Structure 1
């Protein structure tokens, strides 16, 4: 994570900011702009997938030591309704932490309504 609250990498380039991360949970803020929309005029599913992957990665990182690096090994996103331009809240949390694998969940909301739910498995790699 960068010092300015951006998660770095692709999600940071999209404009996501880390609002909170610690104790196996994380929250991202994101402003949906025109460049994030698909041809139908709704939030592109790839942006949603990036946001949930990033927030869950941040949640896992809040539980790891210096020598461990989480890597996504499985990601399932269920899209519940289309997103529109405006602010999003993305929350992730660690559900189960094993020795080598960690299971997480994430939710995306806009104006208090669920847009997507995701589940992921992260492998814990050694640096």
Structure 2
């Protein structure tokens, strides 16, 4: 998969950028702004869930055939500490790839500290 920069769809509208994507891994760069905060003033959990889902889906696409479409069938996000305004990155990698199911893992870092971890299972829809 080529590095095309902007992420598409909902994640792209949030401002997510694919910084790298190759060989079963992907990295997304993101700038947390006031628009991404919850009432407590920290990064909204739904935004973080979108970012990890997008990074892992991108990683899966680099490890599948062009006619295979990954569909998230299970997503577990662990919030380790609150996110805040400023840059963060999400790094995702394929852990296990099967014929019909693929398992990925993602780490979210901000200011050199882990703020989230995620694991997801993707069903591969064959075109």
TM range (shorter): over 0.9
Q: Structure 1-normalised TM-score?
A: 0.97
With over 3 angstroms needed to count, the CA separation of the structure-2 counterparts of 1:116 and 1:3, relative to structure 1, is closer
Q: C-alpha separation between the residues in 1 aligned to 2:2 and 2:25?
A: 18
Aligned ranges for residues 1-127 of structure 1 at < 5 Å? 5-127=5-127
The alpha carbon displacement at 1:64 in A equals 1.0
Aligned structure 1 segments of 4 or more residues deviating by more than 3 angstroms:
1-4
RMSD: 1.4
SS of aligned partner of 1:46: helix
The alpha carbon displacement at 1:2 in A equals 9.7
The alpha carbon displacement at 1:7 in A equals 1.5
SS of aligned partner of 1:12: helix
Q: Structure 2-normalised TM-score?
A: 0.97
Unaligned runs of 5+ in 1: none
SS of aligned partner of 1:39: coil
The alpha carbon displacement at 1:6 in A equals 1.1
Aligned length: 127
Unaligned runs of 5+ in 2: none
